[in-house]
Amino acid sequence: MSLSTYTTTSGFLLPSIHSAPPFFTEQPNPTTQATATAQWSRLILAYARHKKLFILRVEDVETSGSDWDEILRNTRINRKILPGYLSNIMEAMVAQNLAVYEPVKQTRSVLVYWRLPEEWAEVLYDWVISTGQLNTILTFYDITDPPLESLLTGIPISLLRKAISILSKTGRSQTIAIADGEGVRFLARSK
């Protein structure tokens, strides 16, 4: 019963525990389950970062061919995580601030914080500086879908808003209402 790591076609290195069938079963023992949940959270975050996935839905388990297939299923051992179990894991992640329900007021899908909003804020600010767009008014679209692909490409608007609001608290961003939506202007770090 030697478990080994496995590299998926997308180049992700799956942990050895992913090859153990019990990993896909919710454990009644709370201690064991806590460990299992922690491993699942870590796996989800790592995979999300690897594939730059932001939204995890319970439905991703039920339909094959989703972005999360490589971790939610293990065809080599004929196991998949059950929706209820995934939902519990999602709940645990939300509780640990590793994810947030997106949209709010439901529990079927989460926005995975493989970077925390504060980290995203820093990433955003660094990107603005590196691209020399300080004091320039940018639309959200300019940020999420820049001509040159960045770390922020594809970031959900809600997460972007959070990052911008974090920056605005330190006076580094300013939200401006423009004709066709919202714009943001990044300011230099106040000394």
Partner 1 sequence: MALRRYTQSTDGTIPIQALLYNDEELFATQDNVGIYDGSQKSLDHQNGTVHITSHRLFYIDSHRPGRKSFEMALSYISRTEHYAGLFKSSPKITCHLSGDPITSGSHEQGTTHAHFDSWECEVCAYRNPPGLSPTAARVCALCGVPRTAVPPSTNSVLSHHLSRSLPSSALSSSTTLAPVLPLSAGHKNPVACPACTFLNHPYLRSCEMCASDLTKQPMGEYRSAPSSRPITPDPDDGDDDSARMMKVSFRKGGDKHSYAVLRRSLKSKAWEGSSPGFTSLSAVNSTDPDNGTTGGRSGISGILRTVETSAKGRETDMRDALQDLEALMVKAKDMVRLAAELNEKLTAAVATVPTDAGSGKGLADSQPEEATFIRSSLSQLGLQISNTPVTLDMMKDERAWFDELARELAGVLQGAPHTRRDDIITSGMMKSRGIIALDEVWGGWNRARGVALIPPSTFLQVLPHLTAHTSPTIRHRAFASGLNVLHTPPYSTAAFAARLSGFLAISGAKTTLEISREEQLTVALVTEMIDAAEQDGGVCRDDSSSAIVGGGSGTGVEVRWWTNIFVGYNWDGQDN
Q: Is 154 in the site for partner 1 (CB under 8 A)?
A: no
Tokens 């004709």, residue located: 179
Taking CB under 8 A as the binding criterion, the range among 9-17, 150-158, 171-179, 183-191 that sits at the site for partner 1 is 9-17
Angstrom CA distances, 60 to 21, 90, 170, stand at: 19, 13, 38
Angstrom CA distances, 38 to 1, 31, 43, 57, stand at: 22, 11, 9, 18
Taking CB under 8 A as the binding criterion, the range among 14-22, 126-134, 151-159, 171-179 that sits at the site for partner 1 is 14-22
Q: Is 106 in the site for partner 1 (CB under 8 A)?
A: no
From 94, 88, 123, select the one nearest 110 (Cα to Cα): 94
Q: Is 98 in the site for partner 1 (CB under 8 A)?
A: no
Taking CB under 8 A as the binding criterion, the range among 28-36, 88-96, 101-109, 158-166 that sits at the site for partner 1 is 28-36
Task: Give the list of residues 6+ apart from residue 120 with CB closer than 8 angstroms, or none.
Answer: 152, 155, 159, 160, 162, 163
Q: Is 168 in the site for partner 1 (CB under 8 A)?
A: no
CB of 99 to partner 1, least distance (A): 18
CB of 13 to partner 1, least distance (A): 4
Among 57, 73, 115, 172, binds partner 1 (CB under 8 A): 73
Answer whether 93's CB lies under 8 Å from 76's CB: no
